[in-house]
Amino acid sequence: MIIGVLKETLPGERRVALVPSACLQLSKQGHAVHVEQGAGLAAGFDDAAYQTAGAVVASRSEVIAAAATLIRVAVPSTAEIAEMRGGTSVVSYIYPKRHRNVLDALAAQGVNAFALDAMPRITRAQSMDVLSSQNNLAGYKAVVLGANALGRIFPLMMTAAGTVTPAKVLIYGAGVAGLQAIATAKRLGARIEVSDIRPETKEQVESLGGKFIMVEGLDKVNIEGGYVASVSPEILAKQKEAVEKSLVEADLVITTALVAGGTAPTLITAAQVGKMKRGSVIIDMATEAGGNCELSKPDETVEHNGVTIIGCNNLASSVPTHASELYAKNVTTFLAAVTKPEGFTFDLADEVVAATLVTYNKEVRA
C-alpha cells in the first residue's frame, strides 16, 4: 500500500512519524512511502535522506491524494481531517477521551483511525507502545530541564570551601516517565522520593534508588490495563497529606500523573506551592491534560512566591531525533502486525486492532 507521511503542523511539534530507515524497511516489505517535503527537517532528516531510503518526496496535497494510509504524530485538527480522502486510514496519537470532536470529524469524513495512545498493555504490544517510548524520553528531559532551572547542583560535593548537600527531588508518578526521571536524577546525584497511587510500583522505585512514599487506601484505586482509570477524592486527599512534608522540603518536583487519557488529577494546590522553599522548581509534565499543579499553565513558566512552575506539554518533541526514531519503530512494528501487503486487516478479533481502531466505516468505536 502507499503510506503517506505529513509534516506536523502543531506549534512546537518537531517530530516526524517515520524516519528514513523506517521508510527503507517499509519499502523492502513492498509498501511505497510518500513523504511531504520538509517533513523531517525539524527532527534532523532532510528530503535527500528520505529519497535515498526509497521514499517519494512530494507536496502535501500530492501525498494526501496518493496515500491509502497517513502516518502522523500529533492529534489531527478538524481542518487537517477535512483535507483527508474518505476511505483513508490514519495512524496517530488521538487521545479519544479528550478529543470527541476529532473522532466525530474522522467518522464523518469516512477516515478509519487507529489511536496509538490506546495501545493495550499486553506483552505482544510492548514494541508498539508509543506512550512508553515517548514518555521515557520525556522523563529524562524533565530532569535535565529542572536541573537547568534550579539555582543549585544535584550531587553531594565536598570542597575546600565547604560541603554542598545533594538536591532533594520529589516525583509524582512512577510510570515510564517517572521511572526514567528517577534513574536520571539518581545518576546526577540527587536524593529522590516518589509518590504513586499504584502500590505495585514501590519495588520498581526502590530498585532505582528512590524512596517510596506510602499512602493508605491504595488498594481501592481503579487500575485498567496498567493505567489509573479513576481515583477518589479521598485517596487524593490522603496522598496530599502523606507527601506534603516531602513537597515543602523538595528542591525539584516533577509531576507525571495522568488518568487513562482523561483529565490529569490536581496533586499540588496553590496553597501547597505557597509552603514550598523559595528557589524550588516544579516541572508539570501533565499540562496538556489539565496539569497536576493548580498554578501550572501549558508550555509556560509561572513564578509564585519564589517557586518556578514550568508547564510542559510535549517534552519528547524537545529531543525530536531520538523521539522520531523510536516512534517510527513503534509504527513499523504496528503496521507489520495489523496489515497485509494490500492494506489493513481491520480484524476486530485482534486485541491490538480492537483497542486502537477508534473510527471505522464512518462510525465512532471509542
Q: Please tell me which residue in 37, 227, 318, 350 is annotated as part of the active site.
A: 227
**β-strand pairing of 191-195 with 168-172:** parallel
Average pLDDT on 8-35 reads 96
Walk me through the domains of the chain, giving residue ranges and CATH numbers. Answer: 2-118+319-361 (3.40.50.720), 138-316 (3.40.50.720)
Q: Please tell me which residue in 14, 15, 109, 129 is annotated as part of the active site.
A: 129
CB 93 within 8 Å of CB 75:
yes
Q: Please tell me which residue in 29, 59, 61, 126 is annotated as part of the active site.
A: 126
Average pLDDT on 183-211 reads 95
Average pLDDT on 21-47 reads 96
For residue 340, what pLDDT is reported?
86
Query: Which residues 6+ apart lie within 8 Å of 25 measured at CB?
Result: 332
Statement: residue 156 has pLDDT above 70: yes
Q: Is 180 in the active site?
A: no
Q: Residue 59 class from Cβ within 10 Å (0-12 exposed, 13-18 middle, 19+ buried)?
A: exposed
**β-strand pairing of 343-344 with 357-360:** unpaired
Average pLDDT on 47-65 reads 97
CB 318 within 8 Å of CB 281:
no
For residue 228, what pLDDT is reported?
60
For residue 238, what pLDDT is reported?
81
- 3-state secondary structure string, 21-80? HHHHHHHHCCCEEEEECCCCHHHCCCHHHHHHCCCEEECHHHHHHHCCEEECCCCCCHHH
Overall pTM > 0.85 = yes
- The alpha carbons of the chain give a radius of gyration, in whole angstroms, of 22
Q: Please tell me which residue in 121, 187, 198, 318 is annotated as part of the active site.
A: 121
Q: Is 196 in the active site?
A: no
Confidence label for 50 from pLDDT (cuts 50, 70 and 90)? very high
Share of the chain above pLDDT 70, in %: 95
Q: Output 98 or 307, whichever has higher pLDDT.
A: 307
Average pLDDT on 273-300 reads 96
Q: Is 232 in the active site?
A: no
For residue 325, what pLDDT is reported?
98
Q: Please tell me which residue in 132, 134, 272, 324 is annotated as part of the active site.
A: 132
Each residue's pLDDT tens digit, 213-227: 988 766 666 665 555
Least confident of 34-38, 117-121, 152-156, 228-232: 228-232
Closest CA to 121 of 225, 261, 257, 258: 225
Q: Is 77 in the active site?
A: no
Residue 13, phi then psi, degrees to nearest 5: -85, 110
